[in-house]
Each structure stands twice: as C-alpha cells, then as structure tokens.
Amino acid sequence: MRITHYAVAVALALSLPAAAAAAASAETVDVPRPSAAAAETADVLKPSAHPVKLRSAPRKLSVTYTYQGQEHTLDDFLTRTRTNGFLVLDGQDIVAERYTGASRDTRFQSWSMAKSFTATAVGIALREKHIRSIDDPVDKYLPELTGSGYAGVSIRELLRMSSGIDWDEATDAPRLQAAANKGYSISKMAARQKRGWEPGARFEYTSMNSFVLARLITKTTGMPYHDYVERKIWRPAGMESTATVGNDSHGDSLGYCCYYATDRDFARFGLLYLHGGKANGRQVVPASWVKLSTKPSPANPHYGLHWWLGEGGDFMAAGLGGQYIYVSPQQGVVIVKSSIAGGAPDQEEALIAFRAVAAEVARTR
C-alpha cells in the first residue's frame, strides 16, 4: 500500500552531525536538481494488535541546565528549537507530554532517526541468519555494488558510518533526497558511489550507507524493507498507530529517513531499547545487538551502530531540525522531541538538556 507525502527542506542535510554544519558547493551526485515540492511516496506500517501500554502520570518537572556558560530552562530550549512535540517517559509512565501546533495524533517526520530503525532491522536479520556476519562485505549480498566504492566494505563499517565512500553529508544528502522525491532509483545511485578513503579509517556520516543497509534487508530477507520492519519491529514492539516509511518509487525504502509516526510510537521504540530489546515480555531485538549498537565505534566515540552516544551510557537517535529519541538506561527515562519546521542544529545542547530532564525525573520519583 502506498500513499503520497510532500517533501520539504530537501536543501538541508538529513542529520545533525557537527561536520554537516557548513555546506559546500561541489556537485557529487549526477542527477538534475528536482523541485523541493516533488512527491515522495511511502509504504504503510500497520500497528500492533497489542500496543505497549503507556500510562498518563503527569508531574511537575523543574528543569534547568547550563550550556556554554549560560543557564537555560527546559521551556526556553523547547521554544528556541521550535519544538512541536515533547514527551517524557519514566518507564512506561508519561510524566510530561506537550504539543504546539500539533497533537498526540500528529505523525512527525523522523528524518535521520530512521537510521536507528534500519540498524535494528539489520540486527534482527543477523539473528535470523539472513546475514551471516556484519563483518561480511556488503557486496557479497548486493552484487550490484561490485565495482563501486562499496565493494569489499563490511556491513559493520556501514553501520559505523566508516564506509570510506566519498561523501559530504551537507551537500550530498539533500541531493539524495531530492533525487528520491523526483523518482530516481537510489539503488542505481548507490552503485555509482566512489571510494574516497580507506574503510574504517575515519568517521564520515553518510546517508547513502543507511539506504544500502535498507536494501540489504530487502535482498537478504526476501521481503520489502517496510514489510520486514512492520513484522519484526513495528508490530512486535507494540506500536499503537499506523506509520509510513518513504521510498524512491522503485520499490526501495529509503532507510536513512522518512518515517512518519506519532511521538508515542517513537517513544515506544526508545522504550524497546531501554528494556534491552524487549516489549510486552518478548525479546524483539537481541539484547546483544542493543549492547553492540550502543558501544562506541573506533572512529567516533560518540557513535555506535547508527545511534549517537553520550558519555554516561545514554544514547539517542537524531534527525534534521531537532528530532530526537533519547534513552537513559541509568535513569530509566525515554525522551522524544519533534519539530515540524525545525530549528538550528542543537544536538550538543539537546543532550545536556535531556540529561537534566532525566535527572529531574529520577529525583521526583
């Protein structure tokens, strides 16, 4: 089943790494520049028949934090970053939930938070032996990549964003999304990528890596990426509402972006990781994969396998313009922040603010 969304902000990067702060002018994707209003098609994820229950248990949270020598309040942070949805879980209790220009039924665009879903699908496919090892070269499973910059590159290095592909997220990711909106085959674009440096030698945030991983899921499991996500993650994790996942209209899910879901279901995904991969008493994601995904990579101590990492065991999925799923295992807290229009990059400040919220939740139990 497919529906149509209208993509916006294709002239922006799809994630918030510090390296993407400045845009370059070089063209590196050989496709015409489509209109920003081009249609993006999407596939449907059906919800669980037994959603994970979230209990409404609001309480007052008095949150302040210091960033760059200045004291801020949570309200100030949410206002400055144009936040439309904000939800805080203490375990399965909703202790804070607010919306501005949106509601609990709004399906927010995930942008690069989708990458964490894609990595989760890889972990499940590995458990089910569709993938023998993440140290296998990706072109072993995707022969169309033989001869490209991805030839011989391990799945692990794609997950770590250390694939060695010649890529500049600030300029290449917007063109990638524009091409998808226009209906170009992203699979064919992946096969044209060039090697820029030795795989594993350094961290380079690359949305194309996540697309290739989504394509890997389709090829190895024998079912479309969105079907696999629905059957192995969305429904087993107890999601309450229908969601959609963007594709390139050639049958390939994007994988690097474009989940449209409610904040409560994004929170359930965070809860899945908070509980070591379990939902409704069932092991949905291998506990070993949750642990491996949130372990620092050699090339970047603040990045795991498609998750951004803090220094105290906390971690988060992050997307363009201020989309976050934050998980604090130490405090037992999950935080979701969503923005429709998006504000300035704020990932460093967001981590500090979320830690202050988690500490306040723990203090007020």
Domain parsing of the chain, residue ranges: 2-16+29-363
User: What's the pLDDT at 3?
Assistant: 33
User: Computed over its alpha carbons, how large is the radius of gyration of the chain?
Assistant: 19
Residue with the two structure tokens 């060695």: 164
CATH of domain 2-16+29-363: 3.40.710.10
Is residue 164 within 8 A of residue 138, CB to CB? The reply is: no
Q: Mean per-residue pLDDT for 332-345? A: 87
Q: Mean per-residue pLDDT for 330-336? A: 98
**More confident site: 201 or 13:** 201
User: What's the pLDDT at 258?
Assistant: 97
User: What's the pLDDT at 341?
Assistant: 81
Report the alpha-carbon distance of residue 65 to residue 78 in Å, rounded. 13
Is residue 190 within 8 A of residue 215, CB to CB? The reply is: yes
pLDDT digits (tens, 9 = 90+) for 194-229: 999 999 999 999 999 999 999 999 999 999 999 999
Report the alpha-carbon distance of residue 329 to residue 2 in Å, rounded. 37
Please determine, for residue 26, whether its predicted confidence score (pLDDT) is greater than 60: no
Share of the chain above pLDDT 70, in %: 88
Q: What DSSP state is assigned to residue 333?
A: E
Residue 40: band (very low, low, confident or very high) from pLDDT cuts 50, 70, 90? low
User: What's the pLDDT at 23?
Assistant: 28
Please determine, for residue 15, whether its predicted confidence score (pLDDT) is greater than 60: no
Please determine, for residue 263, whether its predicted confidence score (pLDDT) is greater than 80: yes
Region of poorest pLDDT, from 139-143, 162-166, 193-197, 308-312: 308-312
Please determine, for residue 11, whether its predicted confidence score (pLDDT) is greater than 70: no
Q: Mean per-residue pLDDT for 49-75? A: 97
Helix/strand/coil (H/E/C) assignment for every residue in 85-142: EEEEEECCEEEEEEECCCCCCCCEECHHHHHHHHHHHHHHHHHCCCCCCCCCEHHHCC
Question: Does the predicted model carry a pTM greater than 0.85?
Answer: yes
Please determine, for residue 311, whether its predicted confidence score (pLDDT) is greater than 60: yes
Backbone angles phi, psi at 60, to 5 degrees: -75, 130
Please determine, for residue 54, whether its predicted confidence score (pLDDT) is greater than 80: yes
Please determine, for residue 129, whether its predicted confidence score (pLDDT) is greater than 70: yes
Question: DSSP 3-state assignment of 186?
Answer: helix
Neighbouring-strand partners of residue 73: 64
pLDDT digits (tens, 9 = 90+) for 64-123: 999 999 999 999 999 999 999 999 999 999 999 999 999 999 999 999 999 999 999 999
Please determine, for residue 21, whether its predicted confidence score (pLDDT) is greater than 60: no
State the chain's mean pLDDT as an integer: 90
Residue 254: band (very low, low, confident or very high) from pLDDT cuts 50, 70, 90? very high
User: What's the pLDDT at 29?
Assistant: 31
